[in-house]
Amino acid sequence: MTSTSEMPTTPTATASLGSRVLGSLRDSAGEIVFGMEDGTVSIFGLVFGVAASAPSSHAVLLAGATGAAAAAVSMMAGTYLDVESSNDKRAAALEQRAAIRESDPDQVWDDGRVRLKAAGFGPDEIDTVVGILHRHPETADDVDAAFGLGIAPTEPQNPLVQASWMFITDLIAATIPVLPFAWLALSSARIVSMVVTATLLVLLGVGRARIGRKPVLPTTLETLGIAVGAAAAGVFVGRLIS
């Protein structure tokens, strides 16, 4: 007989884990695209700056690999601190608003009336809205946070999750311009690196356009243009120093 501990719960647990990962992926879409774009562009510029005067592919590989790792860690730390600071600011604002609501609730309602009037509501409409919110205090708190403090009524972001996605995507994207130099001679690696990096940047441009609901072609050209500028800056500095 199968014991309780041996009952087939693994598929459910796996599905739950998969759902959490997909949810985290969707919530972090902006950070993922930004991380990939930053990693690709910055290391692409570094690689071509070094490749302009390097004696071999190994020198470019060494510079690119160390730069990719350092950039990924830096972006991870920056994202963690940024999200943590945003969460702290959000918590402080909500705590301050809660203190005002407890000590002087009329002020909160008066502020709400002023905002409704500024939005074009008439006196009767304001009384109706305020009356409804009085009967639903939890909704009133969310509305006050959203319109009074500019805070959406959602859970704060997890800084560790956001930083992890940033690190992974930044490192993967930063590695792509470098990989050809691990296998090919310098002249061939330059061409292959340019092709694969351009392909990735096109995909990132399309991703940016879809996330921001912007025209695909201008957004893609903008992404490519930034990379070209980074590569040109890298080549210029490489030539200048050498």
Which amino acid appears at position 125 of this protein? E
- Identify which has the larger pLDDT, 141 or 71: 71
Residue located via tokens 């190994």: 58
Return the pLDDT at 103.
Answer: 81
Confidence at 107, pLDDT banded by 50, 70, 90: confident
Phi, psi of 52 (to 5 degrees): -70, -25
Is the model's pLDDT at 18 over the cut of 70?
Answer: no
- Residue ranges making up the domain that contains 131: 86-148
Longest CA–CA separation in the chain, Å: 78
Q: Measured between alpha carbons, how far is residue 145 from residues 88, 151, 154 in Å?
A: 15, 5, 10
Task: Give one DSSP letter per residue of 57-102, joined into a string.
Answer: HHHHHHHHHHHHHHHHHHHHHHHHHHHHHHHHHHHHHHHHHHHHHH
DSSP string, 142-191: HHHHHHHS---SSPPP-HHHHHHHHHHHHHHHHHTTTTHHHHS-HHHHHH
Is position 205 within any domain? yes
pLDDT digit string, tens, across residues 34-50: 777 777 888 888 888 88
Please identify, among 148, 176, 200, the residue that sits at the C-terminal boundary of a domain: 148
Question: 91 with 137, same domain?
Answer: yes
Asked whether residue 4 is assigned to any structural domain, the reply reads no
Q: Of 126, 148, 170, which closes a domain?
A: 148
Residues 6+ apart with CB under 8 A from 238: 48, 49, 50, 51, 52, 53
Q: Given the structure tokens 């562009």, which residue do they identify? A: 41
| Closest to 192 (Cα-Cα) out of 209, 180, 179, 175 | 180
Residue 28 has pLDDT above 70, yes or no: no
Residues 163 and 64 in one domain: yes
pLDDT at 242 over 70: no
Q: Is residue 16 part of a domain?
A: no
Task: Reply yes or no on whether the pLDDT at 211 is more than 70.
Answer: yes
What is the CB neighbour count within 10 angstroms for residue 124? Answer: 8
